[in-house]
Structure 1
């Protein structure tokens, strides 16, 4: 019986009896600060030998799935030994927001939205730009997550891996960009 039903559905589809669903645009992100696959110096850390602007990148996203209650963003160095290096994790970005301007972390724009930022691996809350050892090039993954809830168990001062756990538990979709740092002398 199931075999017959499958053939009937296929026949109906081939005759145009059922209209195909329109595909929605996939969830995607972009950043003018990551042009050409390399971090802009404004996003690099400004401490301990690094002379960047330490500004969180501008980022925009589109195609969030139905049921999205809010967004989260992370920036993680995947080439640091061990578990990598957390540069940024932020949650509770409202579902109505589709972009952040550069320096949203330090400017207070995220706080004004009610977003919560994790403690990065520099031991500071908020964004801490890349600063790899001299002469090395690392890869950084910027990810925007569409979340099914904004009721996450997070608080300022909590480390980024804790935020990651909560984000992954609530993620409906995610999109990433991978960039490298400019070579440092």
Structure 2
């Protein structure tokens, strides 16, 4: 089965900047804490540490997302979406995506993911489905907030629609996970 394309390849190009993590790396398997406990994959649904620098001039806020384009659906699977991160934010600690948002800066909001929870949902691909990519993206926006257009009941896909035209830059890091079960 061919690998689905990177969904960001279909959006207008955006300048990159630097994204690092103490927990995840491009092409490397996710550690157990970043797997799902909610969906029974033996993990803790713990969001990884993320740190970024070099966002484009004019950045007024950030959005952080995690998306699995390899999920066996026609639309992939959104694991995490946080918006309205202040422009001064350059790092999220490991576990910032917990159900209370305890590691997020004031004003940041978490949307429900495709699992229906307002938190980071760890990896839990179906057994034998092959390796999945988890694209963690930090999006630099030219607006301070998307509150006027994205309410608390919005989906991550709707968030993406509202980011269109406001994205100044994007940085990604893409670890993997396979449930060989």
So what's the TM-score if we normalise by structure 1?
A: 0.80
Aligned partners of 1:75 and 1:86 also within 8 Å? yes
Gapped regions of structure 1 (runs ≥ 5): 1-24
Gapped regions of structure 2 (runs ≥ 5): 1-14
C-alpha displacement of 1:167: 2.3
Q: Which runs of 4+ in 1 moved over 3 A?
A: none
SS at match of 1:165: helix
C-alpha displacement of 1:109: 2.2
Aligned partners of 2:69 and 2:77 also within 8 Å? yes
Is 1:168 the counterpart of 2:164? The answer is yes
Is 1:77 the counterpart of 2:71? The answer is no
SS at match of 1:109: coil
1:100-111 equivalences in 2 (<5 Å): 100-106=92-98, 107-110=101-104
1:40 is matched with: 31
C-alpha displacement of 1:26: 5.3
Give the number of the structure whose residues are more often helix, by fraction.
1
Q: 1:147 aligns with which of 115, 132, 141?
A: 141
Give me the CA root mean square deviation.
1.8
- The higher-RCO structure (CA 8 Å, 6+ apart) is 2
Name the count of aligned residue pairs.
160
